[in-house]
Amino acid sequence: MSLFEVKNITVAFGGVKALNDVSFGIDKGEIFTIIGPNGAGKSTLFNVISRIYEPSKGEIYFENQNISKTKPHNISKLGIARTFQNLELFENATVLQNLLLGRHIYKKTNILSEVFFTPSARKQEHEYRLKVEEVIDFLDLQHYRDTLINGLPYGVRKNVELARALCTDPKLLLLDEPSSGLTNEETIDLGFWIKDIQSLLGITIIMIEHDMSFVNKVSDRILALNYGKILASGLPEEIKNNEDVKQAYMGE
């Protein structure tokens, strides 16, 4: 049984179908990569999963639950986290502050208990801090924990965006172009981290990527989109040799 499934998803902007009858399923523990030329509909798919965009047709299932009508803020509570193609961090806050905010969705406390700082609120605050420190260690961010985001190099910011998603303790992680803008060395490190997120943390990953050598190194399976439609799906080796995929990229 799939951990995650989209069935016949169609998204239209005016006359343009950004996604056209897209269906696929992902097993628990997979690294599943979505490739495709610019404008293929990749980020639109993430925006549908995060419930930012409303599909005109189709359904989404997570752990066998239909989440097509789930409110956006409840998606993260179910265990789905994402990073954005254009980083969405608080520029004038530190790394630590950004990560503590990422954890916010898990607060079970209410306003009153926070105002009076009851034992249960204190316990939760302590748990968030532990999780955040764990992620800071995991992604080697110790050195930057008290630095403002706007003072950080791009590669480190991307890492903070990834860290923020991990702080919500996701079961499914959506990464929109994690390697874009990174140096070769940073991309190599990212590959190791993504593999570690899969194997050590047991998190299932859907990744949108353009860097095909990176894609082939880390992906278990690949789905190729073009003009909102599925062009091909399969193992990296199969996609590499797929004529339709080669054709789509040559036109770019």
Ligand X SMILES: Nc1ncnc2c1ncn2[C@@H]1O[C@H](COP(=O)(O)OP(=O)(O)OP(=O)(O)O)[C@@H](O)[C@H]1O
Partner in contact with 157, chosen from ligand X, Mg ion, none, beta carbon below 5 to 8 Å by kind? none
38 is an interface residue for ligand X by CB under 6 A: yes
The CB-nearest residue to Mg ion is 43
* Joined tokens for residue 179: 């390697």
- Residues 192 and 204 sit within 8 Å (Cβ to Cβ): no
Q: Residue 120 and residue 100: Cα distance in Å, rounded? A: 17
Which of 99, 176 has the CB closer to ligand X?
Answer: 176
Binds ligand X by CB under 6 A, chosen from 3, 9, 35, 44: 44
- Which region, judged by CB under 6 A, interacts with ligand X, from 41-49, 64-72, 106-114, 134-142? 41-49
How near is the Cβ of 85 to ligand X at its closest, in Å? Answer: 6
- Which region, judged by CB under 5 A, interacts with Mg ion, from 57-65, 78-86, 148-156, 161-169? 78-86
- Residues 25 and 7 sit within 8 Å (Cβ to Cβ): no
Which of 14, 119 has the CB closer to ligand X?
Answer: 14
- Which region, judged by CB under 6 A, interacts with ligand X, from 1-9, 21-29, 42-50, 121-129? 42-50
Binds ligand X by CB under 6 A, chosen from 39, 79, 155, 191: 39
18 is an interface residue for ligand X by CB under 6 A: yes
- Over the window 26 to 55, marking each residue x when it contacts Mg ion by CB under 5 A and - when it does not, the resulting string is ----------------xx------------
Total residues interacting with Mg ion, rule: CB under 5 A: 3
* Interface residues toward Mg ion, by CB under 5 A: 42-43, 85
Q: Contact positions toward ligand X, by CB under 6 A?
A: 13, 16, 18, 36, 38-44, 85
